[in-house]
Structure 1
Amino acid sequence: MTSEIIRFSWSKAHAYRHLAYKQTDANSISSSNFQVRGQDTFLPGNHILKLGFRELQTCLPNLVFEFSSAPSNTLPVRSKKHESELFKHLSLDTSMEAKTQLFFSTLLLHFVSLHAQSLQTYIIQLHPQAITSSSFSSKLQWHLSFLERTISPEDDPSSRMLYSYLSAMEGFAAQLSETELQVLQKSRDVIAIRPDRKLEIHTTYSYKFLGLNTAVKGAWFKSGFGRGAIIGVLDTGVWPESPSFEDHGMPPVPQKWRGICEEGQGFNSSNCNRKVIGARFFSKGHHVASMSTSLGIVQEYVSPRDSTGHGTHTASTAAGVPVPMASVFSNGAGEARGMAPYAHIAIYKVCWFNGCYSSDILAAMDVAIRDGVDVLSLSLGGFPIPLYEDSIAIGSFRAMEHGISVICAAGNNGPIPSSVANQAPWIATVGASTLDRRFPAIVQLGNGKYLYGESLYPGNHVSGAVKELELVYLTGGDRGSEYCFRGSLPRAKVRGRMIVCDRGVNGRAEKGQVVKEAGGAAMILANTDINLEEDSVDAHVLPATLVGFKESIQLKSYINSTLRPRARILFGGTVIGKSRAPAVAQFSSRGPSFTDPSILKPDVIAPGVNIIAAWPQNLGPTGLPEDHRRVNFTVMSGTSMACPHVGGIAALIHSAHPNGPQLLSNLHL
C-alpha cells in the first residue's frame, strides 16, 4: 500500500507547553513527556483532515510522519512502525462527542496525497462580471464551459462538477487533477481556486438565565416569540419527531418561504411541518472525500435526518417549542424551549461522520439565501485562514448583502490566544459561557474528606449515593489504563471497584463504558492540568463524577498514601444560583483574529456549558453505540451550543424589527 505523508506545521507563536519527545531507535518512539497543551489542538495548513483516536489507530500503520518548522525541543520522526505510540500519550480531550466529528476537541492532521494526478475537489471563484459578456443561457452552462475547456474530451464535465453556486458566490465546485488545475488557473475569468476544506461542528434553563421571560415589556412579547422569522441551521440534520419540533400553536409558514422538504433515507415530506418548514442535505463534497480516504464509510442517513444528535440539539436550542417537564434523568428538570420558540426552522444538513466540507457548506448557504431565511446559524468551523480563502466568510458576505444575519461558533480551542474561528467582521462570532446551574456529585473519601464533582448520573435511578467502594487508579505501562482506553483495564483489578480515569484522548462517556465492560462499579473522571477546573458533565452509563484538577491531585495523593483507599459518590441533583456566572468557558476559543489581529473576536458569549436540549430518540444520551437508554433531551457543551442561542436572539430581533438593521449592526454599535 502506498504511504501517505502527514505534515504537522507548528506555529511558534502558538506552540504548546511540554512538546517534548525523543526518538529512541529507528522503529519506536518514546513519548513519556509528550503533551499537547490546550483543550483542543489546531495545526495550521490546508487540506485539514480531522481524525478521531480510533481512526488514527486504524490508519497509522500505513503512515510516515514529517514535522516541519517544529519547535527546537522536538526531533523529526520518520519511523514507519509503532507510530501509534506517539498518540497514546496525547493529552487531548476529544470527549465532547468524539463519536461525531463536531466542534469539540481533536487532533487536526494535514494529509498530502502522493498521487499527483488523483482527482481532488476544488472551489473555483469567478469574476461576477465575466458572464455578462458571455453567450451562455445560464450560469450553470457557463460554469460547465470552464470544465469543457479544461478536462479531457473523453470526460463528462457534468460528472466532475459537484455544485454550481448562484447566490453565495460566483463559481462552482469540481474535481480536478493537478494538471487540470494548472490549466484552469490560467483562465482570466478565474479569481481564485481553493481546495475543498474539511471543518468540524464545533435548553431547560438558559433562556431564563439570559433574562427572556413573558413580561409585557420583554423581548419575547415584543417579538411575538420570534413569530414569522426563519432560522436556517447548517449542521448534522434534524430528528423531526422530537417534541421540540411539534407545530401545535405555530403560525403559518411565511409566504416568502421558497424552500423544499427534500426526501431521502428515513425522511419524507411529511416530516416537515409549520415548525421545521424545510429540510435539505448536501453531501457531494463529503462523498468524494470519503471515497478517497481509508477511513471507511459509517452508516448514516443519506437525508436531512440526524444520525449524531448535534444538529437536533442546536436547532432546538435556537427555536424549539416549549416542552414541559424536560430533563435528563430528572436532572435540570423544567420547561425546555428555544430562544425563539415561534420562529420557523429550515434544516441544511452539511455535516457527516467524516466532518463538514466547505463545498457542501457553501452550497447550503447558496440555497438558503434563495430559500428566504432571515438568520443562518453555523455551529461549525476550522482553523482560521485568510478571509479571501474562507468559504464561510465569502458565503456569509453574500448572505449579509441579502439582509441575512449569519451567526457562527467561535470554536473550542481555548484558552489559546488567537484560536478563534469564523473571524470575518460581518459574522456574529459566538464564544461559550457558563451557567449558574450545577449538578453536584460529591466524592467522599475513606478518610472523611469531600471532593467536589459534577455528573448527570443517575437522576432518580439511585437514592442519592453509591455505596463505599475500593478506589483504584491503575498506573504504569503505556499509560493506557490511566486514560481508561478500550482493552487497557484488567478485569481482575477492576471488578466491583471504583476506577479513577484521567480525562483526555478518548471520550469522557466512553471511559465509563470501558470501566463498565471491565466489571467496574463506578468511575471518577479526573481533570488534568490541561482541563483544569472545566466541568462539562455527562449522563454516564454507570455511577460516575467529574472532579477538577485541584481535586484530582488530592484524590491521587489519598490513593498513594493509603493502604486500602475507598470512596463513595453522593449525588446532589440540580443546584441553581450557587456559582458565579456567566464566565468564559475554558475551552471557548479566544481572539483576536489569527490572520488579522485588528479584528477583535468573538463578538459575544452565550451559554455553552452543560446545555440541555433535544436529542434523537434512537440514540442514548451519551451517543455511544453501547448506550441503549433512550431520552428526548441530553446535555452537551461547546461553542456549538452557544451559537444557536444567539441565532435565536437574532430571530427575535428580526421578528420585532423586520425592516430594521441586522443583528451584527446592533452588536457593533
Structure 2
Amino acid sequence: MPTLLHAHFRKIIGARFYSKGFEEAAGPLESFGRLYFRSARDSEGHGTHTASTAAGSVVTNVSLFGIARGTARGGASSTRLAIYKACWFGGCVDADMLSALDDAVGDGVDIISMSIGSTPQPVYFEDVNSIGAFHAFQKGILVSASAGNSYYPYTASNVPPWILTVAASSIDRELNSNIYLGNSKVLKGFGINPLKMEKSHELIAGSAAAAPGVPKENASFCRENTLNPTLVKGKIVVCTQGTVDRPIVQSFIVGEAGGVGMIEAYPTAREFYDQFVIPATIIEPQEEKELQAYMATEKHPVAKILPTITVLKAKPAPYMALFSSKGPNYRTPEIIKPLEYEFLLHGLHVATEDIPDSENYNIISGTSMACPHVSGIAAILKSYHPSWSPAAIMSALMTTATVTDNIGLPIANFDGAKSTPFEYGSGHVNPFAALDPGLIYDFDTSDVINFLCSHGASSRQLKNLTRKLVNCKDPLTPSYNLNYPSIGVFQMKGRLSVSRTVTYYGKGPTIYSADVVNPEGIKVMVTPPTLKFTKAGEKKSFKVNFTPLKKTKGESFVFGSLTSSNGIHKVRSPIGVNVLSL
C-alpha cells in the first residue's frame, strides 16, 4: 500500500487482511520463501494497481520510464478506499474471501471492486464470490468484478445477475517500439522499451543460435540454456512465441547469453506490454513475415530497436481483448455477460503528495485492470444518485454503453472479426451518459430468488445465499422475466413474451418509443410500442414478443437489440436468443 505522507490526507480509511484460511490450506506464509507482509500492505502490486485505478488521486506528469507521459487519476479520484487483502502469492482461499466480503459489507462500503476471478461459472450456491456478492446486494452495495483472462467461450467468471461483470478491451493508445532495418524499412513493434540502442546490430534467429546438443526448435523459443553465447554475443536475437516463458523472461535469457537485443514474434503483441531488461520489442505476424524475408535475402541482416514512443488516437479502438473471458454463461444463459471496458492504463499511486517517479507506476493488461475503471464510475454514479440500488447502477451503465468504435463500426474482436454480446456484453461504458440514463431496469433480492427458483434452486441452496430458509413461489416466475437490462432467452419453444418494467428518471412529461433490431430468424414486437411518463419515479411495464421463424444451431445464440428513445436518451438492451423449436 502507498505511504500516506500527511495526517490530513486520508485516502485509505481502512485496511484489513485475512490469512487464516490460506495458512490452514497451504501452510504458514513463511514457508513459501517469498516476499510478503503479514498485514494489509501489498507485496505484489496487483492490489495497489487496481485500488488506485478505481480511486487514485490526480497526479500530473506521470510516466513509466518516460513512456505514456500525462496526468494519471483514478476513476473516482475523490473516493475513499477501504482495503481487504484476502489473497496470498496469487492464491485466494474461500474462507478468507468470504470473510473479507462480509467485513466490507459490515463496514458499510458503497462499492466493492473485486479483481479476482473464480473457477469459470461455478454453481452460484457454492461459490464464495457469488455468495459474498449476494450479501452485498442485499445491503444495497454493488459488486463490480472482473470477467477473467481465460480467452475462450464459456469461461467468463463472476456471472450471477447481482454482480456487474467486466470484460477487457483496448484504448486508443499504442506503445510502439519499432525496428529500423538495414534496408531502411521500419517495422512496427510493441513493448515498454526505454533503452536506447546506439547503433544497428546483426540479427540472428534463435533457431540458428542453438547451443550444442539443443534442437533448433527449442532454441527458437529462447528458453534457458538453449542459446549458444558464442553465436548470440553482440547480436539481436529473433525469438518465437513460447508456451512456457513470457517475452520478459526470454529477453533476460537472451541478455544472459550475451545478446544485445531481442525481437519476439507474438500474435497478440499489442495486448501485452512487457517491460524488458535489454532493448526488445514484440511484433505481429505481418511484421514477422517482413522480417523473415529481409533476413533471408541479406547476407548480414542488421537492425536497430528503437525506444518506445506513445501513439495517441490509435484506430480502431476499442476492440475486444483476445484474452478477455467470454460468454455464454452456461449456468444461467439468459443473463448476457459481461460489460466491457478498456484494459490498458497506468496504475496510480494513491498518495498524490509522492513525487512522481517511474518506478512508482506500472502498465498492466487484464480484466483485473478493466474492473476498477467500472468500479470507479459506479462510485461516481452512487455519489450522484445515493438512493440508487445496485441493480439501478448496473442498468445505467449497461443501457448507455456504446457498441461502436472510434471509426463508427461495430466493436470488433482483436483479429477484426465480428464480436457479439458474449464478448462485449452491453458494450463499452459511457460514464457521462450513465449519469443520466433516462430509464432504469431495477430488481431486488426477491426478484433474484424468483430467478434462481426458476432454475431449480432448492431451499437448502437458497439458504447458502440468504442465510435463512426461503421457499420458492408457486407458480414459478420464468427466468427470462428477471428485470435485467439485457434480454436473453435460452431454448425458446415457439412464440414467447418477455416482461420488463422501467422506471423513469427525468424531468417533466416524455414519451419513449421502442426500436428493435431483430435477431436473425426471429421477429420481435414490443407492446406497447411507446411509453408515456409524466413524472420522475413513474414505472411502466411492456412486453417483448418473440416469433421464431427458424431454429438456431445447437446451443448457439442469435443477437439483436431493443432501444427505447425519447429523442434525448437512448436506452439500449442487447437481445440474445437460442431457439429450440418453432
- Please state which band the TM-score falls in when normalised by the shorter chain: 0.5 to 0.7
Contact 2:174 2:270 in 1 (8 A): no
Letter in 2 for 1:409: S
How far residue 607 of structure 1 moved from its aligned partner, in angstroms, is 1.4
Secondary structure in 2 matching 1:313: helix
Contact 1:467 1:569 in 2 (8 A): no
Counterpart check, 1:511 vs 2:273:
no
**Aligned equivalents of 2:224 and 2:91: distance in 1?**
24
Letter in 1 for 2:222: C
How far residue 247 of structure 1 moved from its aligned partner, in angstroms, is 7.0
Letter in 1 for 2:394: L
Relative distance call for 1:377 and 1:519 in structure 2 (3 A) is: same
Secondary structure in 1 matching 2:202: strand
How far residue 640 of structure 1 moved from its aligned partner, in angstroms, is 0.6
Partner of 2:488: none
Counterpart check, 1:394 vs 2:131:
yes
Letter in 1 for 2:201: L
Contact 2:238 2:262 in 1 (8 A): yes
Bigger mean CA offset, 334-343 vs 493-502: 493-502
Partner of 2:202: 470
Contact 1:379 1:641 in 2 (8 A): yes
Bigger mean CA offset, 384-393 vs 341-350: 384-393
Counterpart check, 1:240 vs 2:2:
yes
- 1:155-205: per-residue Cα shift (whole Å, max 9, x none)? xxxxxxxxxxxxxxxxxxxxxxxxxxxxxxxxxxxxxxxxxxxxxxxxxxx
Q: 2:318 aligns with which of 579, 582, 585?
A: 582
Relative distance call for 1:376 and 1:247 in structure 2 (3 A) is: farther
Relative distance call for 1:448 and 1:601 in structure 2 (3 A) is: same
Counterpart check, 1:286 vs 2:22:
yes
Relative distance call for 1:446 and 1:594 in structure 2 (3 A) is: farther
Letter in 2 for 1:418: Y
Letter in 1 for 2:223: F
Counterpart check, 1:607 vs 2:342:
yes
Partner of 2:168: 432
Relative distance call for 1:570 and 1:292 in structure 2 (3 A) is: closer
Q: Percent identity?
A: 40
**Aligned equivalents of 2:350 and 2:279: distance in 1?**
23
TM-score (norm 1): 0.54
- 1:559-583: per-residue Cα shift (whole Å, max 9, x none)? 3454322211233521111322111
Secondary structure in 2 matching 1:631: helix
**Aligned equivalents of 1:539 and 1:587: distance in 2?**
19
Listed as ranges, the gaps of 5+ residues in structure 1 are: 1-238, 251-272, 618-628
- 1:410-467: per-residue Cα shift (whole Å, max 9, x none)? 11112x2122111111100001110111122211223333321122211xx63xx552
Letter in 1 for 2:47: G
Secondary structure in 1 matching 2:237: strand
Counterpart check, 1:304 vs 2:40:
yes
**Aligned equivalents of 1:486 and 1:295: distance in 2?**
27
Partner of 2:140: 403
Letter in 1 for 2:146: A
Partner of 1:421: 157
**Aligned equivalents of 1:325 and 1:407: distance in 2?**
29
Relative distance call for 1:503 and 1:295 in structure 2 (3 A) is: farther
Secondary structure in 2 matching 1:325: strand
Q: Provide the aligned length of Structure 1 versus Structure 2.
A: 384
Relative distance call for 1:283 and 1:292 in structure 2 (3 A) is: closer
Q: 1:650 aligns with which of 378, 382, 392?
A: 378
How far residue 386 of structure 1 moved from its aligned partner, in angstroms, is 1.8
Superposed, 1:46-445 pairs within 5 Å as 239-241=1-3, 274-291=10-27, 296-384=32-120, 385-414=122-151, 416-445=152-181
Relative distance call for 1:247 and 1:436 in structure 2 (3 A) is: farther
Counterpart check, 1:491 vs 2:239:
no
- 1:532-564: per-residue Cα shift (whole Å, max 9, x none)? x54321232211111112222332343345432
Letter in 2 for 1:606: Y
Bigger mean CA offset, 555-564 vs 379-388: 555-564
What do you get for the CA RMSD once the two structures are aligned? 2.6
Relative distance call for 1:351 and 1:559 in structure 2 (3 A) is: farther
Letter in 2 for 1:652: I
**Aligned equivalents of 1:449 and 1:307: distance in 2?**
43
TM-score (norm 2): 0.62
Contact 1:466 1:570 in 2 (8 A): no
**Aligned equivalents of 2:142 and 2:10: distance in 1?**
22
Letter in 2 for 1:607: E
Counterpart check, 1:502 vs 2:264:
no
**Aligned equivalents of 2:198 and 2:265: distance in 1?**
18
Secondary structure in 1 matching 2:347: strand
Secondary structure in 1 matching 2:206: coil
Contact 2:56 2:349 in 1 (8 A): no
Relative distance call for 1:354 and 1:640 in structure 2 (3 A) is: closer
How far residue 297 of structure 1 moved from its aligned partner, in angstroms, is 4.1
**Aligned equivalents of 1:346 and 1:246: distance in 2?**
17
Partner of 1:664: 394
Letter in 2 for 1:449: K
Secondary structure in 2 matching 1:317: helix
Partner of 2:473: none
Contact 2:141 2:389 in 1 (8 A): no
Relative distance call for 1:559 and 1:287 in structure 2 (3 A) is: farther
Letter in 2 for 1:654: K
Contact 2:295 2:301 in 1 (8 A): yes
Contact 2:177 2:281 in 1 (8 A): yes
Q: 2:284 aligns with which of 526, 533, 548?
A: 548
Partner of 1:522: 261
How far residue 502 of structure 1 moved from its aligned partner, in angstroms, is 2.3
- 1:225-283: per-residue Cα shift (whole Å, max 9, x none)? xxxxxxxxxxxxxx222xxx6679x8xxxxxxxxxxxxxxxxxxxxxx51011111111
Secondary structure in 2 matching 1:302: coil
Contact 2:111 2:142 in 1 (8 A): yes
Partner of 2:305: 569
